[in-house]
Structure 1
Amino acid sequence: MGQSKEQFLSILLTGKEEVVFNSLLDYFQECTFISNADFVELTHLSQASARRYLARFASYGLLEVTGSTRDRRYSLR
């Protein structure tokens, strides 16, 4: 089973998802959580696309979600 984290992510994520998630990993080097608005600014995605990516990453178990609706925050698991 000796798969590295990078190999695991490349199996789990599509190419575009992997690029977006890697930018998120870079962001988490400096900060402990990210909001949808911060993610939009980081990735230059639309609000709707940003929400979909964050929800998808959370459903994959890569991000932990805290808060609800307007104060929702995401952090690495």
Structure 2
Amino acid sequence: MLEVFAGLSGVVVLLGTRLAYQWIRGRTEVELARVARETAAGLPPGSVLTDRRPGSELRVQIGPGFRGQSHG
């Protein structure tokens, strides 16, 4: 019986760790998006913002009407 309890405890710890990791990762992505938006809002029209990550690159050109507001 003790082995079953130990095994179930291990599974619960693994699931809890995985959920915590996903939650922290999601919060980090939200914070990075917020910082990128604030950075873009402070750039003058015609500026190019480049976000480089392993395996991808995102280039955003700031248009004349951008004021850091969501449209949609």
Q: Which has the higher contact order (CA 8 A, sep 6+)?
A: 1
State the TM-score, normalized to the length of structure 2: 0.24
TM-score using structure 1 length:
0.22
* Bigger-Rg structure (1/2): 2
Higher strand content, 1 or 2: 2
